[in-house]
Amino acid sequence: MSETQTPRYVEYALTVAAQRSDEAVARLQGRGIEYVWVDAPIETFVIEDGYGYREADVDEVTVRAYEEIAPELELTEQRLEELRSSMAAWMAEGGYAGELTITVPEPVTEDPAYAFTAVEVKPGLMIRPPWDEERLDGERTLVIEPAAAFGTGEHPTTRQCIELMDDLVRPGDQVADLGAGSGILSLFAKQKGAERVVAVDLELSAENVIRHHMELNGIEGIEIKIGDVHDEFAGVTDAYDLVAVNIGGKEAILLADLCHRIVKGDGVLLLSGIVEWIEEEVVRVYADLGWHVTARLQGDEWLTMALRRGELS
């Protein structure tokens, strides 16, 4: 196949007993097929901090295989039936006589990441992928690589954080972004004029991702720390005007004492990634430390809250 030709595949779908799915995958791979996986149904269930996922308990699953074919092969109905019969015989020899279908998938000619489009946070404030060069009059723009890490703006909590930060971050502020991911909140804090921004994440890959986004946005000076937040902020007290925690409700609860310690007396906490059914617990934990909610945004079941110390006015 020449370098300019798009690979062509046929897709086989074989129904097998769930307990034999791994054996079926091995059998298909033994035929020399590289792309094989089990298409098992997934159950979504509510957990305390959001959602959990697991394979459904079923008797049968579908094993799918993509087999590359020669570019000159004419895929007539007769040829497809010949391919199906050949594969059925191969699987039957291994003890798999399940239902087998064959299709010709549409060729993939474009990186799926390019399906990502611009996201409007609020009028005049946009999140755009690097290849989107459109700019509206007076637009403020964050450029984010969609496949890089959590924080592209597609999830409502990311947009909620940025919308609230637009009113909360002031020039000269000190900002800490806990669980920075793509670095999108850190980038926006810098755009708003924050003097010092510290982005912390556990993932080693986050450093390169954030640096890439700094370059895309023409931003310098974000301090990137890879490690546990408790280690990174050990001994730090009253240091930040704003601390953002866009990870989840349980994480916000676990970090309550640390956040309480590192935020300045008149500072603000931004807690996000929170589902509505854990909101009451999050609010109670922070209220016990003297914090109250001053702003709240919600989209579907996801919400973001800004909190300050002291009594409600």
Kindly report, residue by residue over 20-74, the tens digit of the pLDDT. 888 888 888 888 887 888 876 666 656 667 655 566 778 888 888 888 888 777 8
Q: Which residues have CB under 8 Å from 243's CB, separation 6+?
A: 175, 176, 178, 259, 262, 263, 267, 268, 269, 270
Report all structural domains of the chain as residue ranges with CATH numbers, in order of start: 8-103 (3.30.70), 113-309 (3.40.50.150)
Residue 221 in this model has a pLDDT that exceeds 70: yes
Contact 309, 241 (CB under 8 A): no
Per-residue tokens: 302: 């996801």
* 242-295: pLDDT as tens digits: 999 999 999 999 999 999 999 999 999 999 999 999 999 999 999 999 999 999
Q: pTM of the prediction?
A: 0.69
Contact 61, 98 (CB under 8 A): no
Beta bridge partners of 308: 268, 292
Which is nearest to 303 in space by CA: 291, 311, 295? Answer: 295
Which is nearest to 71 in space by CA: 103, 107, 35? Answer: 107
Plot region of 64 (φ>0 → left; ψ -120 to 50 → alpha; else → beta): beta
First to last CA, the chain: 72
Q: What is the pLDDT of residue 6?
A: 61
DSSP labels, 155-177:
SHHHHHHHHHHHHH--TT-EEEE
% of residues, the chain, pLDDT over 90 = 52
Q: What is the pLDDT of residue 237?
A: 96
Per-residue tokens: 85: 């019969």
Q: Which phi and psi (to 5°) does residue 280 adopt?
A: -60, -40
Report, as an integer, the average pLDDT of 182-197: 97
